[in-house]
């Protein structure tokens, strides 16, 4: 039997993940009271159980001790119970935005502090150890629902080897500012600008004519070769150090031609290169 504990930050996508697990055949139980967790797990361990795939959603709640839940899980693992932990996460700024959009209160807000920011900080402290023990950490800060589904399928359907690094490739225009969350930034303004070619000016790097023009210069291919080689060195070391999110920014002047083309090419090169998650977005490109 495959047993998955689904937990993480409130607003990080736990309920969406549970729904996706349900869609692929998991029997899902959410918000089970802490005192019932041990009994539930014991029932699943009985011979000839009818369930082959089970997911248990575990929330931080103001009215029960998450520490007690962790102790029960540790005890069950010591007794030979095999389970996996899926931790759903997102950056504090994204969580705050999601709460503002939904107009919901954070579950850890108290009469003394009704601020969502305080609830997020408190929850992150409570979940610190659980995150360290997690088998899978999915950061949904930049994930589309479709991309999250791909990650879930990769782990729980295709059963591929998994690490928790999510790489986001972002094209942008320097005149609009560097992405605030970029870890690595590369300037491709050394390449000739298609903006000054009349028949290419109003097209983008998502279109073949622009791609062919940009990639016709040997420097573009050389840049991609050297960048890919560097990332082949960096990515395993980021994974080794437990990094969950890597944002690679590729910028040109306006963010429509050169940066988009090279971001697309880098995505193509990295897509089947490792067991990390990979997304691409074009911040300043409007087709």
Instruction: Count Cβ neighbours within 10 Å for each residue of 249-274 and write b for 16 or more, e otherwise.
Output: bbbbbbbbbbbbbbbbbbbeebeeeb
Q: Token pair for residue 4?
A: 């998955």
Among 17-31, 136-150, 214-228, 266-280, top mean pLDDT goes to 214-228
Task: Report strand pairing: 245-252 vs 53-57.
Answer: unpaired
Identify whether 161 is part of a domain. Answer: no
- Could you read off the pLDDT of 37-94 as tens digits, one per residue? 888 887 877 777 778 899 999 888 745 677 888 888 888 888 888 899 999 999 999 9
pLDDT band at 109 (very low <50, low <70, confident <90, very high): confident
Q: What local confidence, expressed as pLDDT, does residue 6 receive? A: 95
What's the rounded mean pLDDT across residues 250-279? Answer: 92
Inter-residue contact 171 to 260 (CB < 8 Å) = yes
Task: Quote the number of domains for the chain.
Answer: 2
Q: Is the pTM of this model over 0.75?
A: no
**Same domain membership, residue 14 and residue 141:** yes
Q: Half-sphere exposure of 182 toward its Cβ, with a 13 Å CA cutoff?
A: 20
Do residues 152 and 170 share a domain? no
Q: DSSP assignment, residue 33?
A: -
Distances (CA, A) of 74 to 55, 69, 78, 85: 17, 9, 6, 12
Mean pLDDT of 218-224: 97
Region 231-247: mean pLDDT is: 89
Q: For residue 287, is it within any domain? A: no
DSSP 10: T
Note the pLDDT of residue 225: 97
Residues 49 and 172 in one domain: no
Burial class (CB in 10 A: 0-12, 13-18, 19+), 172: buried
Domain that holds residue 103: 2-156
**H helices present in the chain, as ranges:** 14-23, 34-44, 66-78, 92-102, 116-126, 128-133, 145-156, 208-215, 218-240, 258-270
Based on the domain organization, do 18 and 121 belong to the same domain? Answer: yes
> Does 264 map to a domain?
yes
172 shares its domain with 152:
no
Is residue 114 located within the same domain as residue 174?
no
156, 180, 211 - which closes a domain: 156
Which two tokens mark 13? Answer: 């996508």
Predicted confidence band of residue 266 (pLDDT cuts 50, 70, 90): very high
| CATH code for position 12 | 3.40.50.300
One domain, residues 142 and 81: yes
- Cα end-to-end distance, the chain, whole Å: 48
Q: Are residues 191 and 70 in the same domain?
A: no
């Amino acid at each position: 039997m495959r047993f998955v504990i689904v937990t993480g930050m409130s607003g990080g996508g736990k309920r969406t993940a549970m729904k996706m697990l349900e869609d692929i055949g998991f029997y899902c139980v959410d918000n089970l009271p802490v005192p019932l967790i041990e009994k539930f797990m014991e029932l699943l361990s009985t011979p000839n159980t009818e369930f082959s795939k089970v997911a248990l959603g575990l929330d931080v709640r103001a009215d029960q001790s998450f520490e007690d839940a962790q102790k029960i899980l540790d005890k069950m693992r010591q007794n030979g119970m095999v389970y996996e932990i899926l931790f759903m996460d997102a950056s504090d700024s994204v969580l705050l935005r999601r709460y503002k959009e939904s107009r919901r209160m954070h579950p850890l807000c108290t009469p003394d502090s009704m601020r969502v920011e305080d609830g997020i900080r408190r929850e992150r402290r409570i979940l610190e150890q659980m995150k360290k023990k997690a088998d899978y950490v999915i950061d949904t800060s930049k994930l589309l629902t479709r991309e999250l589904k791909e990650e879930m399928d990769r782990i729980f359907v295709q059963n591929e080897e998994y690490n928790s690094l999510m790489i986001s490739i972002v094209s942008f225009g320097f005149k609009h500012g560097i992405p605030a969350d970029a870890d690595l930034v590369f300037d491709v303004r050394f390449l000739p600008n298609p903006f000054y070619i009349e028949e290419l000016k109003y097209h983008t790097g998502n279109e073949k004519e622009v791609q062919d023009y940009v990639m016709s210069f040997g420097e573009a291919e050389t840049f991609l070769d050297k960048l890919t080689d560097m990332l082949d060195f960096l990515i395993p070391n980021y994974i080794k150090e437990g990094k969950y999110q890597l944002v690679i920014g590729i910028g040109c002047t306006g963010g429509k031609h050169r940066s988009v083309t090279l971001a697309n090419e880098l995505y193509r090169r990295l897509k089947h290169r490792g067991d990390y998650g990979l997304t691409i977005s074009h911040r300043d490109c409007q087709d």
